[in-house]
Amino acid sequence: MTEPRSPHRRGFSALFGLALFAALGASWWNLRAGITSLQARTDALEKSLQGVERAVQLFRFERGSEGLGVTALLEQLRHWAPLLSLSTTPQREIPAIQETVEDLTKALEAVGPDALPALLAAFQGARADEDDLRKWILTAVPRIDRTRGLALLEDCVRGLDRAISPRIRVHSANLLLELDKVRLGKILGELLTYESASGVDSTRLPHGLREAFAAAKLPPQRMPMFFNFIDLFVATGASDVAEKLIMVASRPDHDLATIQACVKQLGELRSAHAVKVLKKLYDSPPEMMVNPIFQGHCLEAIGKIEGGAGCEYFKEMLRRGPDERVQAKLNDLIKIYCQ
């Protein structure tokens, strides 16, 4: 027979297990503390190395400039940024120029809030042909100070400065879409109610904006790139997108490009409330002229929204004997939805 284990041996085993568990726990705690300390030192070292790298970048850019610090960076940015959009710049040089401009932007960020006065002064003082400089300043400012950067982008989208070109307004909207799409949705939702490619209709301005526009003392300004705001507004995902696009498409003061952008997006949105407006636009295209391409977009949008329910309409339009390009589009839609 096997002798029963002594109570003393059982007690010793329990104490040994408890001691081992405590030792393992202490070791794990020490290891965890060591890892945390090592991570903190690594982060500090990485931050220090980034500071050294930025200092080296700043020194590199200062060597080729007359000024120092932010002045040198802006001088270099003013030289390199336009080369990215010049058709005469060799394609093989674009990647290196892009890298240089991005390094300049990072160096400006590294300077921090102290760079803001010079950046904003350069933005305001840029010549009419220096949109490329303005574009990169608009990239840098929100990274240095998000609040001031978003406010600057909002003013640019609204066009609250006579020096801001249509190109910069659209570029600012694209940047704001990445940084705060809800804010952009609110801005564009308002803007679509009071502006068109012909400019701002002051009688339609919301009460809260009248003072801002009056203070800006803006001369009448056209916005030939206004149609870009339609796709950008849709991209914000605002809850009233379809409603606002139907409103824009229904207004005769909007240009063809803007209404056509609305037509395409309403089709993609499958907005049933838009069908009546789309059919009216098909019968009476903008600018009082026959436009088979525009009519084709209207028909495509109706097809996407109504599907098979639009067959009778398509067949009726075909019986009217339209332009041959419209006729071809109707035949295609009948094949898709009416078989």
Per-residue pLDDT tens over the stretch 77-106:
999 999 999 989 999 999 999 999 999 999
Predicted confidence at residue 52, as pLDDT, reads 46
**135 shares a domain with 85:** yes
Residue 40 is assigned to a structural domain of this protein: no
Do 316 and 253 lie in one domain? The reply is: yes
Residue 129 and residue 182 share a domain: no
Residues 73, 158 within the same domain = no
Three-state DSSP state, 43: helix
Alpha-carbon span 102 to 105, nearest angstrom: 5
Name the domain boundary from 183, 204, 239.
Answer: 239
Whose CA is closest to 213, among 198, 222, 200, 197? 200
Which DSSP helix (H) or strand (E) runs through 63?
A: helix 7-63
CB 61 within 8 A of CB 107: yes
Final residue of a domain: which of 216, 239, 262?
239
Whether 266 and 197 share a structural domain: no
In a domain, 39, yes or no: no
Structure tokens that stand for 98 in this block:
């892009």
- Cα gap 204→310, rounded to integer Å: 36
Q: Domain limits at 302? A: 244-339
105 in the same domain as 67:
yes
Under DSSP, the state recorded for 200 is: E
Residue 27 falls within a domain, yes or no? Answer: no
Q: 41 lies in a domain?
A: no
Last residue of a domain, one of 126, 144, 162: 144
Looking at the fold, whether 259 and 309 belong to one and the same domain comes out as yes
Alpha-carbon distance values, 43 to 47, 53, 80, 144 (Å): 6, 15, 33, 21
- Say if residue 233 is in the same domain as residue 249: no
pTM value is 0.80
Q: Is 195 helix (H, G, I), strand (E, B) or coil?
A: strand
Q: Which residues of the chain have pLDDT under 70?
A: 1-31, 33-34, 37-38, 40-68
What pLDDT, on a 0 to 100 scale, did the predictor assign at position 83? Answer: 94
Count of structural domains, the chain: 3
Q: What integer pLDDT is reported at residue 197 of this predicted model?
A: 97
Asked if the structure places residue 309 within a domain, the reply is: yes
For residue 19, is it within any domain? no
233 shares its domain with 252: no
Supply φ then ψ for residue 62, to 5 degrees: -65, -30
| Three-state DSSP state, 131 | helix
Q: Token digits for 273?
A: 């409330």
Does 180 share its domain with 166? yes
Considering only CA atoms, which of 224, 262, 298 is closest in space to residue 290?
A: 298
In a domain, 102, yes or no: yes
Residue 7 lies in a domain: no
Confidence at residue 59, expressed as pLDDT on a 0 to 100 scale: 43
Same domain, 101 and 157: no
Question: 199: which strand partners?
Answer: 196
Closest to 138 measured CA to CA, from 99, 100, 177: 177
Task: Let me know whether 132 and 161 are in one domain.
Answer: no
Q: How far apart are CA 144 and CA 141, in angstroms?
A: 5
Are 140 and 176 within 8 A, CB to CB? no
